[in-house]
Amino acid sequence: RWRRWVADTVIQATNLAPSDAIRFFRQKINMPTQKWGELEAHVHATGFSVAGAASDALLNDFRKAVGQAISEGMTLGDFRKEFDRIVKRRGWDFNGTPGWRAKTIYTTNLSTAYSAGRWKQMTTPEALVMFPYWRYRHHACPHPRLMHVAWDGTTLPAVDSWWSTHWTPNVWACHCTVYPVSRGEMRRNNWQVSDSQ
């Protein structure tokens, strides 16, 4: 009975209550930029940036809006309205269409924050005991990356170093996910541990 309760608790944790995602996002520091690609990829883990948002005031407004989206569950539609208000208030001249820009800011920041929270929860000692394997899944998208398609179904021990370089999202607009897998799921599905790639 206790074991089932622990399993249910870990399963709920891997679905991610937003607290760890919120904590991850709040620890970031603002990084003003003039253009996309200005920051190294690893800097995005600790810095908050919006390509072309070079003023502190503009960056703070976007950071506040993204923070609300994560903590309050703001929809993309609501975020787009807030994006329009921010742009108008700050007189920001940006590249791309407003809808596309808002969606990019929204989805990129939410997916990385939730992914960081998911990593934290899936690497707790309890989670690693209950789910000693992880499985990489590529999800259908209009422009799949062939490498990500090739990784689909890769199942390795959760402690395998492969995950430190293949945790999702891998790159901008990656739609892949990593799922925790129990020993029982491995047996029921007849899954085998993949060769490290």
Q: How far apart are CA 98 and CA 80, in angstroms?
A: 8
| Pair 26, 70: CB distance under 8 Å | no
Q: CB within 8 A of 33, min separation 6: which ones?
A: 39, 49, 50, 51, 52, 53, 54
Q: If phi over 0 gives left and psi between -120 and 50 gives alpha, with beta otherwise, what is residue 173?
A: left
Q: Is this prediction's pTM over 0.85?
A: no
The pLDDT score that the predictor gives to residue 33 is 67
**Per residue, what are the HEC states of 79-129?**
HHHHHHHHHHHHCCCCCCCHHHHHHHHHHHHHHHHHHHHHHHHHCCHHHHH
Say whether pLDDT at 1 is over 50. Answer: no
The pLDDT score that the predictor gives to residue 180 is 96
Q: What is the pLDDT averaged over residues 116-131?
A: 92
The pLDDT score that the predictor gives to residue 19 is 73
From the list 134, 137, 130, the residue with the least C-alpha distance to 184 is: 130
The pLDDT score that the predictor gives to residue 12 is 44
Q: What share of the chain in percent tops pLDDT 90?
A: 44
The pLDDT score that the predictor gives to residue 9 is 39
Point out which residues pair with 137 in neighbouring strands: 177
| Pair 61, 88: CB distance under 8 Å | no
Going across the sheet that includes 155-157, the strands are 155-157, 133-137, 177-181
pLDDT level of residue 95 (50, 70, 90 thresholds): confident
The pLDDT score that the predictor gives to residue 16 is 44
Q: What is the pLDDT averaged over residues 8-28?
A: 56
pLDDT level of residue 90 (50, 70, 90 thresholds): very high
pLDDT level of residue 62 (50, 70, 90 thresholds): very high
Lowest mean pLDDT among 63-72, 128-137, 165-174, 188-197: 165-174
Point out which residues pair with 29 in neighbouring strands: 47
Say whether pLDDT at 61 is over 90. Answer: yes
If you average pLDDT over every residue of the chain, what do you get?
82
